[in-house]
Amino acid sequence: IVKDNGMLRVDTEDQDPGKSSGVIKVVCSMVEDLDQFVQVPHNSIDVLVSEWMGYCLMYESMLSSVLFARDKWLKPGGAILPDTATI
């Protein structure tokens, strides 16, 4: 999970290490800076989920970040959600 707007908070101090599967890691960063925190193999992601659409599909759009993640990590045939929008 990559989140850069400060809205995501996770308390990791009280977690039991035996309960973690090691599959999910929370990183508070722009997706373009993810390599500074964790190594994700190229073409290894099945699904990208993002709130990339700005209001009216134009303003504050994060499409460039989603395309960056798609090109770097999405497996061939993988999905980006949401993938359609209507104005």
Please say if 32 is a catalytic residue: no
What is the overall mean pLDDT for the chain? Answer: 78
Instruction: Report the CATH number of the 17-81 domain.
Output: 3.40.50.150
Q: Given the residues 60, 63, 75, 81, select the one marked as catalytic.
A: 60
Rounded to an integer, the average pLDDT of 9-14 is 52
pTM metric for this prediction: 0.68
Confidence grade of residue 17 (pLDDT, cut at 50, 70, 90): low
Q: Given the residues 25, 51, 64, 71, select the one marked as catalytic.
A: 51
Please say if 13 is a catalytic residue: no
Long-range contacts at 57-65 (CB < 8 A, ≥ 24 apart) = 57/85, 57/87, 65/30, 65/31, 65/32
Rounded to an integer, the average pLDDT of 39-68 is 85
d(C-alpha 3, C-alpha 27), whole Å: 6
Query: 69: how many CB neighbours lie within 10 A of its CB?
Result: 21
